[in-house]
Amino acid sequence: MSEELTYNLLPTLEKFHNCGAQMRAVVGPVGSGKTTGASWEICHFLPFFLYKQYGITSTRWVIVRNTYSELIDTTQRTVFEWFPWGDYKTQSKNYYLSYPEPELEIELMFRSCDRPQDVKKFKSLEVTGYWIDESIEVADEIKRMLKNRIGRYPRKCPVRFGIETTNPPDVEHVTYTQFAWDTPPPGPISDKKPLKNHTGFWQPPRENNANLRPGYYDDLLNDYADTPDWIEMYVEGKPGVLVTGKLVYNNFSRDKHVAQGSLIYAGGDIIVGWDNSGNTPAAVVCQEPSPQRLQVLAEYNTVKENIVDFTTRVLGDVRERYSKTANIIEWADPAGEAKFSTKEGGFTSNAKLMRDECGSNPQSSEQNLQARIEGVEKLLRMEDGLLIDPSCTRLINGFLGGYCYPEIGNTGTFSDKPDKNRFSHCHDALQYVAVRVALGDARRRFDPLDIDSMIDDS
């Protein structure tokens, strides 16, 4: 190392180091010093704490990042810059640090995990704790396995530790909801109860400015001026969406398509879009303020709620919130008409259950995926074509990148179908409405051979 480095505690990281919670997270923009803070925590502060508190002189830590190249080029490099005197074993990818006074031995195991299937890498680990760098990129299955492997070294270790550092997650991500935030995030307060003994620290923007080259953030603002969502997430430190594939929509702008305040029901027909064909139903509630203009008033999502309970809940809420007498037009997944066998014998479908038991009247919309996507795109291209209530968090985050075409392996090639994830269901529901509204007649059947008519008349 060419010069001696001095670790100056930032206000947020000082709180992080002094916190007694065994599971801790630090969230911050790029260049915020969170990787440096975690390096010091597992290479210095925690080993000395364990020695003073329990007389433990040997600790073992696993350091995890999504890809091997990122692990070596960024996380490992930061550790080596601050603690350069250790012994690195290239074949095992383990790094050994020793302190002479008191005599402490620290083993660091560097491991990558590109896929959820990599969970097998961690099944036999016996470690004191873990550090996951850029943790929102790491699958939940791997995090759960790691929690099962900490506090196992040395034997009968009285405590365990899990450290996560990451750029801002979106407001629905488990990182946002699992931790009790000592320094609050610049976003809505989650109504979910955080996990016990999980404390998070959200860094304010530019907290580490004094330790960066002059103009670091100003250059980023200039370089990414055409992508304000990137700036909000990586410079301003606001909750954002990690884009893991190719965007489905090319014309969405949060400034243009998300309302500044709550949208008001203006009377007239209410249009409900249903994704009603699977075990994870979703719905969007819309109004058409003028022909070929769509406003999304609300979204509804669930996890494996049966279609009858879900439909009853949504329609009841619609009547309570908007109008008890308004005409409701319902467009749904044509696959919702598919019949399945019942426990009582015979066959039914989700659409039939909605009609028979909920007073719903879902009409089959368009099955053709590209036509549905183009229906949304047409509204996005039109002036005031699509406006979304800011409460529709999952829908908005889907537009920002959660709803995407997944990459096939690491080939740079993407699937021709969007990823089926928590964002896809409400986007399917929106498409079933948008493809009708974009035609200028929400009641007209769509001819999938006539896609060009949708594209050219916007």
- pLDDT exceeds 70 at position 360: yes
Alpha carbon 360 to its chain's center: 32
- pLDDT exceeds 60 at position 449: no
Instruction: Name, in order, each residue with C-beta under 8 angstroms of 77's C-beta and a sequence gap of 6 or more.
Output: none
Read off the pLDDT band of 440 (50, 70, 90).
low
Q: Which residues pair with 130 in a beta bridge?
A: 62, 162
Instruction: Name, in order, each residue with C-beta under 8 angstroms of 47's C-beta and a sequence gap of 6 or more.
Output: 56, 59, 99, 104, 106
pLDDT value of residue 447? 45
Percent of the chain with pLDDT over 70: 95
- Could you give the CA distance from residue 168 to residue 123 in angstroms, rounded to a whole number? 28
Residue-wise pLDDT for 18-29, tens only, equals: 999 999 999 999
Q: Which of 268, 266, 321 is nearest to 298 (CA)?
A: 321
Read off the pLDDT band of 411 (50, 70, 90).
confident
- Could you give the CA distance from residue 198 to residue 193 in angstroms, rounded to a whole number? 11
pLDDT value of residue 188? 81
Q: How much is the average pLDDT of 61-74?
A: 94
Specify the DSSP element, H or E, that contains 286.
Answer: strand 282-287
Q: How much is the average pLDDT of 351-359?
A: 95
Tokens for 56, please give them: 């433990």
What is the chain's length? 458
One DSSP character per residue, 75-140 reads IIHHHHHHSTTSEEETTTTEEEEEETTTTEEEEEEEEE-SSGGGGGGGTT--BSEEEEETGGGS-H
- pLDDT exceeds 80 at position 175: yes
Alpha carbon 333 to its chain's center: 25
Read off the pLDDT band of 80 (50, 70, 90).
very high
pLDDT value of residue 135? 96
- pLDDT exceeds 80 at position 443: no
- pLDDT exceeds 90 at position 106: yes
pLDDT value of residue 278? 83
Instruction: Indicate the range of 195-204, 234-243, 363-372, 379-388 predicted with least confidence.
Output: 234-243
Q: Which of 276, 426, 445 is nearest to 351 (CA)?
A: 276
Angle between helices 350-358 and 307-321 (to 10 degrees): 50
Q: How much is the average pLDDT of 135-161?
A: 94
Q: What is the DSSP-derived secondary structure letter of residue 383?
A: T
pLDDT value of residue 150? 97
Q: How much is the average pLDDT of 332-356?
A: 88
- pLDDT exceeds 60 at position 155: yes
Q: How much is the average pLDDT of 169-180?
A: 93
- pLDDT exceeds 80 at position 343: no
Q: How much is the average pLDDT of 356-362?
A: 95
Q: Confirm if 419 and 405 have CB atoms less than 8 A apart.
A: yes
Residue ranges with strand state E in 320-442: 328-332, 340-341, 347-348, 363-364, 386-388, 404-406
pLDDT value of residue 441? 54
- Could you give the CA distance from residue 178 to residue 220 in angstroms, rounded to a whole number? 30
Environment class of residue 328 by beta-carbon count within 10 Å: exposed (0-12), middle (13-18) or buried (19+)?
Answer: middle
| pTM for this entry | 0.76
| Domains delineated in the chain | 11-211 (3.40.50.300), 254-456 (3.30.420.280)
pLDDT value of residue 365? 95
- Could you give the CA distance from residue 253 to residue 330 in angstroms, rounded to a whole number? 27
Read off the pLDDT band of 192 (50, 70, 90).
confident
- pLDDT exceeds 50 at position 99: yes
Q: Confirm if 281 and 332 have CB atoms less than 8 A apart.
A: no
- Could you give the CA distance from residue 126 to residue 115 in angstroms, rounded to a whole number? 21
- pLDDT exceeds 70 at position 156: yes
Q: What is the DSSP-derived secondary structure letter of residue 182?
A: E
Instruction: Indicate the range of 115-119, 130-134, 413-417 predicted with least confidence.
Output: 115-119
Q: How much is the average pLDDT of 104-117?
A: 90
pLDDT value of residue 439? 76
Q: Which of 198, 174, 172 is nearest to 187 (CA)?
A: 172
pLDDT value of residue 456? 42
One DSSP character per residue, 189-248 reads PPSSPPPTTEEEEEPPTTTTGGGS-TTHHHHHHHHTTT-HHHHHHHTS--------EEES
- Could you give the CA distance from residue 402 to residue 384 in angstroms, rounded to a whole number? 23
Question: Which residue carries 């696993």 as its tokens?
Answer: 62
Q: Taking phi first (over 0 means left), then psi (-120 to 50 degrees means alpha), and beta for anything else, what does residue 9 get?
A: beta
Q: From the CB of residue 450, how many other CB atoms can be counted at a distance below 10 Å?
A: 10
- pLDDT exceeds 80 at position 448: no
Tokens for 270, please give them: 């209410």
Output the CA angle 314-317-319, nearest 5 degrees: 110
